[in-house]
Chains A and B, each alone.
Chain A
Amino acid sequence: MTSTTGYVLYLVFALGAAGLYYLLPRTGASKTAIGATLGVSALVGLFVLLGAHGSAQRRDEVYFYLFAATAILAAVRVITHPKPVYSAIYFVAVVIAVAALLLLQEAEFLAVALVIIYAGAILVTYLFVIMLAQQPGSPIYDRRTREPFLAVVVGFVLMAMIAGRAGELPARAAEKAILADGGRNPASTASLLTGNTMAIGAAVTTKYVVALELSGVLLLISMVGAIALSRKQITSDVIRSPRRTLGQIGKEVEPF
C-alpha cells in the first residue's frame, strides 16, 4: 500500500466519521441528511479505493461489496437508532452479513458459529435484557448520544489504526500453506485437514488447548456471575434468610 493511498484511506475514514457524527441521535434539529450524504460518499470512496487496489479480481467480488455495505449500514443503524430493540435487530443483520463475508472466505464453520452464537444466543439475551430493563416511553438516554464527538474520534482512530496495518496481514493462501504442511508428520496432518471444521478443531484442541481450557474457566466464572447478579436482586426484596434458593421465594410467607 503506497502512502498516497494510505492518506486517501484516512481521508475516507475521516469523511465517514464526520457522517457518523451527524447521524448520531441528538435532541436538537436533525442533521440526518448531512450525515447520510457524508457517510454514503465515504462508503462509495472506500469501495472505489478497494476496487482499485484489489490484488486479484475475483468474480464473486460483487457479493463482497453487497455484504460489506449491508454490514456497515446495519452497524451504523445499530448505534443511531433511538429504539434499543431495533438496534438489536440491526445487530442481527450485521452478524448475518458478516457471516456471509466469512462464507465468501470459505470459513464455513466460523460463519455458522457466528450465527449460532451471536444471532442465536447473545442477541436473544440482549433482547431479554432490553425488555427486562425497559422503561415506559422513550427515555432521554435513548434519544441523545452522550459524547458523540469523542466517541466518533475514538472510533476513527481505531479504524485508522486497523486499516493502516491492513497491508501487513498475511495473505490467505500463505496462511493455508502453513496450516497444511507445517507439521512433522505431513501425511497424517494432511489427511486430517480435509475440512474447515476439522482444521479448526485440530487447532483448538492441540495448539490452542490452553486457551480452550481458559475459555472454559471464563465461562464458568460467567455462570457464577449470572447467579451473583440475579441473586442480590431477588433476595433483597422479601427474604432475610441468606441460605435460600431462587425458587423458594415466598414459600415462608404465611398465608393470611
Chain B
Amino acid sequence: MRDFITSQFGVSVVLAFIVINVLLGAVSYCIYFERKISAWIQDRCGPNRVGPWGLLQPIADGIKFLVKEDVVPNHVDKPLFIFAPAAIFLVAFIGFAAIPWGGQLELDGRLVNIQVANPDIGLLYILGVGSMSVYGAVLGGWASNNKYSLYGAIRATAQMLSYDIPMGLCILVVVLTMGTLRLEEITLQQTGYWAGWIPQWNIFLHPLAFAILFITALAESNRTPFDLAEAEQELVGGFHTEYSALKFGMFFLAEYAHMITASAFIAVLFLGGWHLPGVSWTQPQATQWYAVLAKIVVLSTKIIFFLFVMMWIRWTLPRFRFDQLMRLAWKGLIPITLALFVLAAALLFFDRQRSPLWALSGNLVILVVALITASSSRLRVTGRQVNLPTIAPATDFVRLGRVEMPL
C-alpha cells in the first residue's frame, strides 16, 4: 500500500482528490471574495452577516442552493437540460490535471511530480478540455427552450469560438520559445535569470502575447467585459435563465473553476509557474516537502493575483457590445497574434528566441503598428455609431427605433 501511495500514480490519485476538493472550496470562496471585492470597489460592506466578516457566507449559499426547488420546467428537453450543467462542470474541473503545482517531491528515494498527469502534450490537453466547454453553454441554452437562453447560448458559443483562435496562437508563441508541450518543462525553463536578477519568465519576452492570452481567458470564461452571454439587462440570465437550485450553482461554480484553471495556466506559461525569483533551492532541499509546499504557495499566490485582477476588471469595465466583441477578436486579436507568431518563428530561426531585447522590440513594433492601424481606421472603437443616421432633432426621435440591433 505504501509502495502504491509513493509511486507517481499513487501521488497523482491523491493529488487529484486533494485538488478537486480544494477547488470546490476555492470556487465557493471565490464567490465570497467577488462580493467582498465588489463591495470594496463600490465602497460598501459586502457580506458581513454570516460568521465573522461574513466568512461563512459560502456555506450558507451552498445550503441555499441545496434546499431550493430544483425546477425542471415542462417545455425543456429534459435529458439535455440535466446533461448541460454536468458537462460544463466536468470540463471545468478536469482541466487542472496537467498543471504542475510544485515541481518534484522525493518520496522513499523516488522523485514524483506534484502534478496529476504529465503527458507529452500537457498543453494541448488543457486546450482540448477548454474547447469542450462550449457544449455546456450551447446545450444548456438549447435544452431550456427559452428565447433568452437560446440567444445567450448562441452568443456564448460564437464568443468562445472566436477567442479560441487568438488563445491558441498565443500559446503557440510560447511553444516556439520553449520547444516543448510539457507544462512542467515550460516551468523549469523559466527558472533562470537574465543579467543575474531578471527572472527568465516568458512575460518578459512576449508581454503582448501574455496580455492577449489574459484577455482571451476572460472571454473564454464569460467574464466581464465579455459576459454578453448573460447580459442581465438584455438576456436575464443568458443560457442558464431556466436553471435553479444546484444546477444553477453548477454553472456558477464551473465559471469560477474555469477562471482558476485559466489563471494557473497563464501563470505557468508566462509567470514561471511555481518559480519565485531570488529563491533557488539546491538539489537535496529542492525536493523536500517544505520546498514543494513553498512552490505550491507561490503558484497559488500568482493564481490569486490573476483572480483578483479578473474581479477588479469585472467591477471596473463596462460590457462590450456584441459587434465590438467580434471585431476585437477577428480584426484585432487574431491579426496581432498572427504577427506575434511570425515574430516568434523569425526569432527562433535566427536563434534569438530567448533574447529579451529582440523579443521586446518585436513586441513593441507589433503593438505600435497595431495601435497606429487602429487609430487611423475609419471605424472607431464604438464603430456602429459612425454608421448611424445623424442625431435627429427631438421631434424625430422615433426614427432611431428603426435601426436594427445586432442579436
Do the two chains touch directly in the complex (Cβ atoms below 8 Å apart)?
A: yes
Shortest C-beta distance, B395 to chain A (Å), equals 13
A89-B80, A112-B128 known, 14 other contacts, Cβ within 8 Å: A89-B139, A92-B135, A108-B119, A112-B121, A112-B125, A113-B124, A115-B132, A116-B131, A119-B132, A196-B120, A196-B121, A197-B121, A255-B399, A255-B403
Measured between beta carbons, the chain A residues less than 8 angstroms from B205 are none
Measured between beta carbons, the chain A residues less than 8 angstroms from B83 are 89
Measured between beta carbons, the chain B residues less than 8 angstroms from A115 are 128, 131-132
Q: Mark B220-234, 1 if CB is under 8 A from A, else 0.
A: 000000000000000
* B-contacting residues, A4-31, CB 8 Å: none
- Is B120 within 8 A of A121, CB to CB? no
Shortest C-beta distance, A233 to chain B (Å), equals 16
Q: Mark B136-149, 1 if CB is under 8 A from A, else 0.
A: 00110010000000
- Is A120 within 8 A of B121, CB to CB? no
A196 closest partner in B (C-beta): B120
Shortest C-beta distance, A142 to chain B (Å), equals 14
Known A-B contacts A116-B131, A256-B402; A128 and B157 likewise in contact (beta carbons under 8 Å): yes
* A-contacting residues, B146-187, CB 8 Å: 150, 154, 157, 161, 164, 181
Shortest C-beta distance, A232 to chain B (Å), equals 21
Shortest C-beta distance, B264 to chain A (Å), equals 19
- Is B80 within 8 A of A85, CB to CB? yes
Shortest C-beta distance, B140 to chain A (Å), equals 12
Where chain A touches its partner, the secondary structure class is helix
Residue B284 is within 8 A (CB to CB) of chain A in the complex: no
Shortest C-beta distance, A133 to chain B (Å), equals 13
Q: How far is the CA of A127 from the CA of B127 in the complex (A)?
A: 20
Measured between beta carbons, the chain B residues less than 8 angstroms from A113 are 124
- Is A119 within 8 A of B402, CB to CB? no
Q: How far is the CA of A182 from the CA of B321 in the complex (A)?
A: 56
Most buried by B among A120, A127, A195, A197: A120
- Is B127 within 8 A of A116, CB to CB? yes
A99 closest partner in B (C-beta): B128
Q: How far is the CA of A188 from the CA of B134 in the complex (A)?
A: 42
Residue B351 is within 8 A (CB to CB) of chain A in the complex: no
Choose from A109, A120, A131, A195 the contact partner of B132 (Cβ within 8 Å).
A120
Measured between beta carbons, the chain A residues less than 8 angstroms from B403 are 255
- Is B124 within 8 A of A124, CB to CB? no
- Is A255 within 8 A of B121, CB to CB? no
Which 10 pairs of residues, A with B, have the shortest CB-CB distance?
A120-B131, A255-B399, A112-B124, A115-B128, A255-B402, A116-B128, A112-B128, A108-B121, A195-B120, A112-B121
Q: How far is the CA of A128 from the CA of B134 in the complex (A)?
A: 12
Count B interface residues, CB 8 Å: 31
Measured between beta carbons, the chain A residues less than 8 angstroms from B80 are 85-86, 89
Q: Mark A79-109, 1 if CB is under 8 A from B, else 0.
A: 0000001100100100000000000000011
Shortest C-beta distance, A29 to chain B (Å), equals 24
A residues whose Cβ falls under 8 Å from a Cβ of B: 85-86, 89, 92, 108-109, 112-113, 115-116, 119-121, 124, 127-128, 131, 195-197, 250-251, 253, 255-256
Residue B282 is within 8 A (CB to CB) of chain A in the complex: no
- Is A109 within 8 A of B157, CB to CB? no
Choose from B124, B161, B387 the contact partner of A251 (Cβ within 8 Å).
B387
B175 closest partner in A (C-beta): A197
- Is A109 within 8 A of B124, CB to CB? yes
- Is B181 within 8 A of A131, CB to CB? no
Measured between beta carbons, the chain A residues less than 8 angstroms from B181 are 197
A130 closest partner in B (C-beta): B142
- Is A255 within 8 A of B138, CB to CB? no
Q: How far is the CA of A137 from the CA of B161 in the complex (A)?
A: 29
Known A-B contacts A108-B119, A131-B142; A250 and B404 likewise in contact (beta carbons under 8 Å): yes
Known A-B contacts A109-B121, A255-B399; A124 and B128 likewise in contact (beta carbons under 8 Å): no
Between A and B, 18 residue pairs with Cβ closer than 8 Å are: A86-B79, A108-B119, A115-B128, A116-B127, A116-B131, A119-B128, A120-B134, A120-B164, A121-B131, A127-B142, A127-B157, A128-B157, A131-B142, A131-B150, A250-B404, A255-B389, A256-B399, A256-B402
A249 closest partner in B (C-beta): B404
Shortest C-beta distance, A108 to chain B (Å), equals 5
- Is A85 within 8 A of B142, CB to CB? yes
- Is A127 within 8 A of B131, CB to CB? no
Measured between beta carbons, the chain A residues less than 8 angstroms from B161 are 121, 124
Measured between beta carbons, the chain B residues less than 8 angstroms from A112 are 121, 124-125, 127-128
Measured between beta carbons, the chain A residues less than 8 angstroms from B121 are 108-109, 112, 196-197
Q: How far is the CA of A256 from the CA of B227 in the complex (A)?
A: 34
- Is B132 within 8 A of A127, CB to CB? no
Measured between beta carbons, the chain A residues less than 8 angstroms from B404 are 250
Shortest C-beta distance, B224 to chain A (Å), equals 24
* A-contacting residues, B114-134, CB 8 Å: 119-121, 124-125, 127-128, 131-132, 134
